[in-house]
Every structure is written in C-alpha cells, then in structure tokens.
Amino acid sequence: MSEWRNASGNTLRDYPRPSLAVDVAVLTVAEARLHVLVVESPHDGLALPGTFVHPNERTRDAADRALRTKAGVSDVEMHQLAIFDDPTRDYRGWVMSMAYGTAVARDRLPGNAFLVGVTDGEPDESLAWDHARMVRLAVADLRARYADEVDPDYLIGHEFTVLELRQLYEAIYEHALPKDTFRRQVSDGLDSTGKVSSAAGGRPAELFRRRAGTYLPRSAAGVFEAHRIDVTR
C-alpha cells in the first residue's frame, strides 16, 4: 500500500489498528414477550451473533454475514446502535465492536433459534462481554422506531387486526395499552382491506395494512412508552 500522507502528516501505517467486530441484537416477539436471539459457544457462553469485519467490508455487510452464517437469518434491515470501544472489553486484545440492532418476526427465525427473554431492556440470562448493553440499546431503538411508524419491521404480517397490532405493541413496550386510545393513535397509519378475520367467538375484526409513508402522531411515544430505558448504564 502506498503511503499517502495527509496535511497533518498522518499515514495509515503510523500505529496499530483495532480489530473491528460487529454484533447484532436481533429482537423478536414470541409468546407475547420480547426476546433476543443469541448463539451459544462453549468458550464464551451466550452471546449475540457477531463476526470480525473482513477487509474492505462494510460493517453492515459484516453484520448481515454474521446473521446469515451464525443464525440462519437473511435480508434484515439493521440499525447502528453504538461502537463499543473499551480497550479491555475483549480478552483477545484490542477489539472494538459495532453493535447493530434489528427486529425479525419469529417465523423468519430458524425453529431451533436460541431465544432469551428480555425484560425492560435486560436479557433474562447474562450475556458475554458487553452484549447486555447492546440489547438495551436495541430495545430503546426498537421502541423509538415503533412509536414513529406502524410495525416498521413487520413483526406481524402484511395484514392484521388492530388487536394483533396492539398485542404486539404491548409486548414491545411491556405494558397494557387502552384499546380505544391505541386504535385512535394508529388508525391514521392503517389502510382497510375490506376483509375481516375469521372470528374467534365474537364480531370478526377488520384486517388492515400499513399505510405507506405515514407517521404516527407525536403523541404516540407518550402513549406507548410508560418510561424510558436507561441506556447510560
């Protein structure tokens, strides 16, 4: 590699470079609760799927690759959370990790996926390294995005009833939501399909689709979120 030199005299070979990893917190809703996808290794215990970044690879592509090869998940839209850069965070040496977050419907994950429940941003089982903090950031990010749009990550299908949508939001925000207020908050973000769901004992519920390009009202965050997750820990 030629030694390009910029105005301040730095070159790309002046000093050691960090190893760069990515880790991905894949959230999902199963049994009406938030879960995070983990992988188990004999040496490090439970951890988020991750990998080292390959030469000239983007971190997002590395995260995609980690999900594909270690968790059997593809075609996921991810969001940068933070870089974890404590030089002592990895026993192997100077390893930084870019954390990504996303959410995927349960039925897009392998049937034997290892899911750990998440309560108020905290995994029910302890994770390796600083991965619990990554989960906390992922949940805060998920909640912020879900207060902005109707189920942007398609945790439920393309067509759904308001009840199904509300139960999804109750799982994400971890508390009950009033059914009439919830309906009014989201109704502007829904398109009616005309169809109804097969009734479960009572009046059949109407099936809706996400309305493209609509945001939920600013008040939605206040309605959904009972409290804020402390992401500073």
Among 74, 77, 86, 119, binds a second copy (CB under 8 A): 86
C-alpha dist (Å) from residue 87 to 62, 135, 172: 21, 20, 33
Residues 147-186, one symbol each (x = binds DNA by CB under 7 A, - = not), give: --------------xxx--------------xxxx-xxx-
DSSP H helix total and E strand total for the chain: 5, 10
Q: Does 231 bind DNA (CB under 7 A)?
A: no
Tokens of 64: 């995609």
Q: Whole-angstrom Cα distance, residue 87 to residue 83?
A: 12
Q: Whole-angstrom Cα distance, residue 208 to residue 98?
A: 37
Q: How far is the CB of 31 from a second copy (least distance, A)?
A: 30
**φ, ψ at 192 (rounded to 5°):** -75, 145
Residue 210: count of CB within 10 angstroms of its CB: 20
52 or 184: whose CB is closer to a second copy?
Answer: 52
Among 18, 72, 117, 217, binds DNA (CB under 7 A): 217
Q: Does 1 bind a second copy (CB under 8 A)?
A: yes
Q: Does 203 bind a second copy (CB under 8 A)?
A: no
Return residues touching a second copy (CB under 8 A): 1, 4, 6-8, 10-12, 14-20, 41-44, 51-60, 80, 82-83, 85-87, 91-96, 98, 218-219, 221-222
